Amino acid sequence: MAVPSDFSISKINGKFAVNKALSDTMDTMFRIQGLGWVTRKALGLASITAHITPSVQDNGVERIEVVPYISGGFKWSLDVRPLDLSEQQVSNPILGKMVYKSRKIKLSEVTKDDEYLKEGQSGSLKEGWDTSADDTLINSHVVGKGWVQDETWGLMDFNGKKHFTMRYRIVNDAKEETDLKIVYDYTGAL
């Protein structure tokens, strides 16, 4: 289901389910991140939803909290992302220890250092962002054990309907890389 007409990444809030028909397969991403075949296949069969809420920390910094759930209501982990590029160390039950740096950025204000948000090393990040109402994106740089991931969240249009979408570029120490998008259906407010 498409996001509501008044939805924006600036004020992201809601429940979202992965739309496998519109998304790229996650198997290559999980392989590059070092997950074994059995785990990758199990995750490929699972239904994944995310509950996303914004908040403001005591110091005034905006943050986003993401709680992903896998089939059967299994809570994957709590992912808290301050949007000020501060480093956040997290431990994920499947991917292990990671370090995040996240921020909000307007596509119209991208600097030379941020050109990959528009162009992408393979061009995959530039097409499709719907910036008609708001050109705000959320961008994170994630370092895991043996891999690095850049992810960008925004709205994309699919068949005339806006969907919350995450675009990824992942590279591991062996220089294997992949670009993919994960498209979400909006399933309701929190």
Does position 38 have pLDDT exceeding 70, yes or no?
yes
pLDDT digits (tens, 9 = 90+) for 146-166: 999 988 899 999 999 999 999
Does position 185 have pLDDT exceeding 80, yes or no?
yes
User: 27 pairs with which residues across the strands?
Assistant: none
Domain boundaries, the chain: 9-188
User: 141 pairs with which residues across the strands?
Assistant: 101, 150
User: 110 pairs with which residues across the strands?
Assistant: none
Answer CATH for 9-188 from 3.40.50.80, 2.40.128.20, 2.40.30.10, 2.70.98.40? 2.40.128.20
CA distance 34 to 44: 15
End-to-end CA distance of the chain: 16
37 residue type, one letter: W
The pLDDT value given to residue 122: 39
Give one word for 103, left, alpha or beta, with left for phi > 0 and alpha for psi -120 to 50.
Answer: beta
Residues of the chain above pLDDT 70, percent: 90
pTM assigned to the model = 0.89
Q: What mean pLDDT value characterizes the chain?
A: 88
The pLDDT value given to residue 119: 45
* Helix residue ranges, H only, 25-174: 27-32, 37-45
